[in-house]
Structure 1
Amino acid sequence: MADILARELNEPISVHSIWPGRGTAATPGPAKASPSLMKTAKILHDLSTAGYLIPTSGGRCEFVEADTAIAALDWLNRSEAHLQSKTGGEDLDPQVIDILSDRVDTLRHLDDLHGASFVLGLALQDLRWTLLRAQTSAYGREDGIRLHRVISELTQLVGWLALDGGDYAQAQFFFLAALRAARIAEDRLLGAYILSCMGYQSVWTGNAEHAMRLLQTACIGTSECSRSTVRALLFSRLARGHALLGDGRACEKAIASSEQAWGNREDLAGPRWCYWVDSAALLGDAGRAKLDLGQRRAAETDLERALRMLGDSQTRNRSLHLTSLAEIRIASGDVDGAAAVVLDAVALLDRIDSVRTRCRLQRLEVAFTRHRGYAVAEEATEAIGSSLTRAGSG
């Protein structure tokens, strides 16, 4: 990682300067820097030197799932870091923290509207500025906790944007840093949410066992908050992991636990960072879990209901649910029905780019080509190809 940072920042950076004591670690072969790494190299360096990004796997900048497992156990077994007042520097105005917190909410909604590629640069800029305030300002314990909560939320958002953009290695680093900042902020639910994002990353990459370890850890670590919005989300994501493992009974139990936590929640609004969690989001996740189990009819019912409940909101989630419906219908021989929802998904992809949606559309494009000579299949194939070309050139 030090080599990549040095190359992208055009300045000498040693492993020891990022993580003291790591200078003698084995150095892996050269790695190529992706375009997003070029954008985020400096902020990774800032997070490292500020102590939010702890040493992982000898300093390698690659996706190493063992690192997230270690971080999860560390989060579960250790008490929160007790933040003390910070002296030195200009006093931090509490209103600045309020503005920063509101700004994170704005960035999340911008991502809903425009996607990761639009928001990433803005989020990185805000994160760097906030890190600078944490390092150079003076603040009391209460304001310090609030400031580190903002740092955690911003870093989690950057990780999520990287994940949605297909940059799994970078997403991992940002999630790890966000988890550490959440511990400093003494925010247990936020930490669990970040762990669930790591777990979802493993769901998307097909490593169900690792996903289960992370998601179960998050559930265990929040057992005292059994009636909360976050717990409903955690169980919903846990169901996806069980489904990938083919454990139908455990999947159904997790879905039931999610429904129970949602129905009995005491925090009716939930934390600001999970504003998007509602009945439609949980139902859509349940539908996808059932699809992973091969329960197509039940999955189709849930996904159709979720789409009706979402209306015009959550463009990215709607595009993903539509592609799931297309998978179900084309696998069942309903080419017309599959083509209809694919065209809707293509229209949404033109509004908000998502690597996840693109990957699913690529698989569907292959599926539709098996029905050459059928007009609607050829129309769907052509629409998918044109949309993927536009997304790739954008």
Structure 2
Amino acid sequence: MAPSGEALTRLLAEVGWQPEQFARRLNECAGRHGRTERLHLKTPYKWRKGDVPRAPWPSLTSALLSEVLQRTVGIDELGWPSDGFEAVPASAGLDLPWSSGGALRAGEVVNEPEGMTHRRMFLTLLGSALTSPAHEWLIAQPPQNIASTAGRPVSGDVVDHLDAVTASLRRMDDHLGSGQTLGLVRKHLSTVVEVLRERSYTDSVGRRLHGTAGELLRLAGWLSFDDGHHTQAQRFWIAGLYQANAAGDRGLGANILGFMSCQAKDLGQLRQAVTLAETARASYPATSPKVETILDLRAAEAYANNRSVTDTRRALDNAFDRFTDSRPEHGDPDWSYWINEAQAHAQAGYCFVKLEDWPRARDHLRAALRLQSNEYTREGALRNALLATTYVQQEHPELDKALALGDQAVQTLTGQVTSTRCIKHVRNLVGALAPYRRTPTVRRFCQDARDLIAS
């Protein structure tokens, strides 16, 4: 056995993985870092015998094993030559001044064409690196004056038109999903960044433009996260925080932190998820009941994943109380349109699923499905998959109800919208049904879901 094979064999034994498990984790790692390449499950057997993997697998192997073992595992330790990739954190290129110029540069950096960064391996931020951008944004001072004298002037009417396109893209995502919307968001972001760079504007118009760019970066991060590209999402969101600071918009920044918290829990960074959610709540000046509701629900999700029952219920109670708050002095931002009673019940249902409180989860998810206006959306698919799971996991499973809901989720995700995040919940449902695989209807559903899950 060649030295490289010996090193890999030793490291796999250290983490307790068989080659097939290793291949699956590598494929997940590739997707998380924005790579499209995928590995055959048997290929690591060849590496153990001494074959040298092609790029980008040496860098991905180094990144994955370093993450799992909590120490640096270099390519040289594996006995492999460099594959030409430069492994850098997701925050690379985003250590910028908290100024209008820094915000503009952040928007340019993260929206560069793929070819510009093809040989760089961006690594997902974990641990304290995940919360560091939030703390920097929290203490940053908004720039005093961001007026520009370059080029032809831009009026507030132009920003109105740009914001109308942004609003349309947000709603397009609801019905088409992440895979078909991100390209359009990036093109629109390029337009806004170009206006910021090449046109002249007053301070107030400039802040509005940065706010528009920040919301597009928030949306681009969400679409990337929903599609399973965690590193790309982090880059968009960090750049969005720069825009929020330049715009002087604490609500936008807090909303971005809420999405970062949502991602952190999916990455298994549960303490960091709570930190991000609470930073979002603490930083927001409480001028919109809808925004407060969103931030309370993000906190509830973080606490539910942390199995903190009391904190989860307190955050949910706060969120539902907001619906009776009709203070007239401040309006709600357009990006908060999606939060309504149906969505609040859906997120509460998710929280109780995580707490394994199946009756409460079912009550909230049923309410969400009853209140929603269109079941053939990503959120409808997610609610059906979660509700189906409660029927499987309860003390006396009701498989027929679970399968009917599961069929609806699969149908929506196959023919209506794309969402890697929602497919993960269908995969969880299939796993929960594993003890009942001998039942013909269960076997049929698992077969129907197989192609969706494989995608």
Task: Give the TM-score normalised by structure 1.
Answer: 0.83
How far apart in 2 are the matches of 1:354 and 1:314? 13
> For the Cα contact (< 8 Å) 1:369–1:378, is it kept in 2?
no
Corresponding position of 2:308: 247
How far apart in 2 are the matches of 1:152 and 1:86? 18
Could you give the per-residue CA deviations for residues 364-391 of structure 1, whole angstroms, max 9, x where no partner exists? 22333432331221221122124445xx
* Runs of at least 5 residues in structure 2 that lack an aligned partner in the other structure: 1-32, 35-71, 76-82, 93-100, 111-119
How far apart in 2 are the matches of 1:208 and 1:49? 29
Q: How does 1:36-115 map to 2 (within 5 A)?
A: 50-52=104-106, 61-65=122-126, 66-115=128-177
Evaluate the alpha carbon distance shift between residue 227 and residue 123 of structure 1 in structure 2; reply closer, same or farther with a 3 A threshold: closer
**CA drift at 1:326:** 1.6
Corresponding position of 2:261: 199
Corresponding position of 1:140: 202
SS of 1:266's partner is coil
Corresponding position of 1:357: 422
Evaluate the alpha carbon distance shift between residue 121 and residue 55 of structure 1 in structure 2; reply closer, same or farther with a 3 A threshold: closer
> For the Cα contact (< 8 Å) 2:369–2:380, is it kept in 1?
yes
Is residue 378 of structure 1 aligned with residue 440 of structure 2? no
Residue identity matched to 2:298: R
Larger mean CA deviation between 379-388 and 272-281 belongs to 379-388
Larger mean CA deviation between 210-219 and 362-371 belongs to 362-371
**CA drift at 1:142:** 1.0
> For the Cα contact (< 8 Å) 2:85–2:121, is it kept in 1?
no
SS of 2:142's partner is coil
Could you give the per-residue CA deviations for residues 66-93 of structure 1, whole angstroms, max 9, x where no partner exists? 3441221122223323333111212124
Could you give the per-residue CA deviations for residues 162-204 of structure 1, whole angstroms, max 9, x where no partner exists? 0000000000000000111011011111110011010111122
- Count of aligned residue pairs for this structure pair: 354
Evaluate the alpha carbon distance shift between residue 86 and residue 49 of structure 1 in structure 2; reply closer, same or farther with a 3 A threshold: closer
How far apart in 2 are the matches of 1:231 and 1:380? 40
Q: How does 1:161-240 map to 2 (within 5 A)?
A: 161-222=223-284, 224-225=285-286, 228-240=289-301
Corresponding position of 2:369: 307
**CA drift at 1:282:** 0.9
Residue identity matched to 2:318: S
How far apart in 2 are the matches of 1:209 and 1:32? 31
SS of 1:311's partner is coil
How far apart in 2 are the matches of 1:347 and 1:141? 49
261, 281, 284: which one aligns with 2:322: 261
Evaluate the alpha carbon distance shift between residue 187 and residue 313 of structure 1 in structure 2; reply closer, same or farther with a 3 A threshold: farther
Could you give the per-residue CA deviations for residues 192-219 of structure 1, whole angstroms, max 9, x where no partner exists? 0011010111122222110000010011
Residue identity matched to 1:366: G
CA RMSD of aligned residues (A): 3.0
Could you give the per-residue CA deviations for residues 237-295 of structure 1, whole angstroms, max 9, x where no partner exists? 10111111111111111111111223214269621111110011111111111111111
How far apart in 2 are the matches of 1:360 and 1:87? 50
**CA drift at 1:347:** 1.3
Aligned-residue sequence identity (percent) comes to 25
**CA drift at 1:307:** 0.8
> For the Cα contact (< 8 Å) 2:103–2:243, is it kept in 1?
no
Evaluate the alpha carbon distance shift between residue 95 and residue 49 of structure 1 in structure 2; reply closer, same or farther with a 3 A threshold: closer
Residue identity matched to 2:307: G
How far apart in 2 are the matches of 1:349 and 1:118? 13
How far apart in 2 are the matches of 1:387 and 1:70? 36
How far apart in 2 are the matches of 1:178 and 1:272? 17
144, 159, 184: which one aligns with 1:122: 184
Larger mean CA deviation between 203-212 and 79-88 belongs to 79-88
> For the Cα contact (< 8 Å) 1:368–1:378, is it kept in 2?
no
* Runs of at least 5 residues in structure 1 that lack an aligned partner in the other structure: 6-25, 42-46
SS of 2:200's partner is coil
205, 216, 221: which one aligns with 1:159: 221
How far apart in 1 are the matches of 2:242 and 2:333? 19
Corresponding position of 1:150: 212
